[in-house]
């Protein structure tokens, strides 16, 4: 169990860091202030600041985020009536605002906040020492920081460094960079898998192994046969062939294959097998293996592309094959599959990581509000309209998307708990 937990944390941590670093890097390059780069969710464990960004490690290893400056920034830590402590520089400008009771500022000036503007004019008004006879306005430095209630020190967010102030193409690139990094990670990991395991799947439809007493063997298929079509529809790659077989459990499938110079068509009925709560069809065949160095290195690209096709077919099957929660998986399903991967060794864990990375990249590109794909869709709408949606409309869309995702995640999680630990 400890090995599974450690593997889960490492794999999930790498995926989150790589994904969020894509957003982080291009936000920085676009002049957008990244206030916080967080690994994990919930209460903080560690935190430090560098180059105007706070880096935090949080307790729950179930995600992470890049917190960029923007119009939707939460300012609950600084509200009228709040007692704060202000630290000034030699020019009498505020350089630090302490809104937390967990820290003390050396030589800080206690002020009861009346009004503030940390976006445009950069000032704080209030009563020094909470004395109604000492009402003052303090001007705030552009690069000042604020210590929030939980003790995290972050940069204030003047308008010129807001996400919304960046150009349209820059904002789109920031949103796309997270999924892009997941695809790049998958390429690297699949290439490493190819080097470690010594052989990789050949990119053709030739059978490598036909299992004894399998459906395929009983139907007359042999190693070296090239599959040309299934149900008289041409197949061009192993992924589409496997997808068709797996989705045809217990149903007759016409298999057209080539052996030498002859082409024949036979009928098979894929055997029903239950995997992770889903019933799939298997006929007992596997792909050919290539052992040359070039193929093993290129597996970074060929393996990633094959995984993209596989996941795309699975997404399409959600709608064409009937929707069921068993076709989805959340953190519980990932943990359960991590346990199985950890038992099978390093190569299995790396393959699982590459699968999750591609999956994370594709899912985040779906045009659902609150996901990166939803943000890109809003960018497209803005490009067509040649003006931004109103802040109210955009917030409504994002909130609706977030609520939908949370409800779906809850449903998936409860279903995963049932099928992996109760059923």
303, 200 Cβ separation under 8 angstroms = yes
List residues bridging with 36 in a β-sheet: 54, 67
Residue matched to tokens 């040359």: 292
Backbone angles phi, psi at 44, to 5 degrees: -75, 150
State yes or no: is 20 an active-site residue: yes
**Hey, is 204 helix, strand or coil?**
coil
Q: Which DSSP category does 165 fall into?
A: G
Q: Which of 20, 36, 153, 394 is catalytic?
A: 20
72, 395 Cβ separation under 8 angstroms = yes
State which H helix or E strand residue 174 sits in: helix 168-197
Q: Cα(183)–Cα(192) distance, rounded to whole angstroms?
A: 14
Cα–Cα nearest to 68, from 37, 22, 29, 99: 37
Sign of CA dihedral 99, 115, 144, 134: negative
Q: Cα(341)–Cα(356) distance, rounded to whole angstroms?
A: 12
Active site residues: 20
């Amino acid at each position: 169990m400890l090995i599974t937990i450690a593997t889960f944390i490492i794999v999930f941590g790498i995926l989150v860091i790589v994904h969020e670093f894509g957003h982080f890097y291009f936000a920085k390059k676009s002049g957008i202030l990244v206030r916080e780069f967080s690994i994990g969710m919930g209460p903080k464990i560690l935190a430090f600041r560098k180059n105007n960004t706070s880096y935090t490690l949080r307790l729950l290893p179930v995600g992470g985020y890049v917190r960029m400056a923007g119009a939707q920034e939460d300012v609950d830590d600084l509200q009228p009536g709040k007692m704060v402590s202000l630290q000034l520089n030699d020019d009498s400008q505020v350089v630090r605002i302490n809104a937390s009771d967990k820290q003390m500022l050396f030589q800080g000036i206690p002020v009861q906040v009346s009004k503030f503007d940390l976006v445009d004019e950069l000032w704080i008004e209030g009563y020094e020492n909470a004395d109604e006879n000492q009402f003052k306005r303090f001007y705030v430095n552009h690069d000042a920081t604020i210590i929030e209630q939980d003790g995290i020190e972050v940069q204030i967010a003047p308008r010129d460094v807001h996400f919304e102030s960046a150009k349209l193409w820059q904002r789109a690139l920031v949103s796309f960079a997270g999924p892009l990094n997941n695809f790049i990670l998958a390429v690297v990991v699949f290439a490493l898998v190819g080097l470690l395991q010594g052989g990789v799947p050949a990119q053709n439809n030739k059978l490598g192994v036909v299992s004894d007493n399998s459906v395929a063997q009983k139907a007359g298929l042999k190693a070296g046969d090239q599959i040309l079509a299934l149900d008289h529809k041409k197949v061009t790659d192993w992924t589409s062939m496997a997808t068709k077989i797996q989705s045809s459990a217990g149903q007759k499938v016409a298999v057209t294959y080539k052996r030498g110079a002859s082409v024949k068509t036979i009928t098979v009925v894929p055997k029903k097998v239950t995997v992770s709560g889903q019933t799939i069809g298997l006929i007992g065949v596997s792909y050919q293996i290539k052992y040359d160095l070039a193929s093993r290195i290129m597996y970074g690209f060929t393996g990633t592309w094959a995984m993209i096709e596989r996941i795309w077919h699975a997404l399409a099957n959600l709608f064409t094959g009937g929707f069921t929660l068993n076709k989805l998986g959340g953190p519980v399903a990932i943990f359960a599959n991590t346990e199985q991967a950890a038992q099978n060794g390093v190569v299995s864990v790396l393959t699982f990581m590459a699968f999750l990375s591609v999956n994370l990249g594709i899912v985040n590109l779906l045009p659902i509000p609150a996901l990166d794909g939803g943000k890109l869709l809003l960018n497209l709408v803005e490009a067509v309209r040649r003006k931004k949606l109103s802040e109210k409309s955009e917030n409504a869309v994002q909130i609706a998307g977030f609520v939908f995702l949370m409800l779906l995640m809850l449903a998936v999680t409860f279903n995963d708990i049932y099928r992996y630990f109760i059923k």
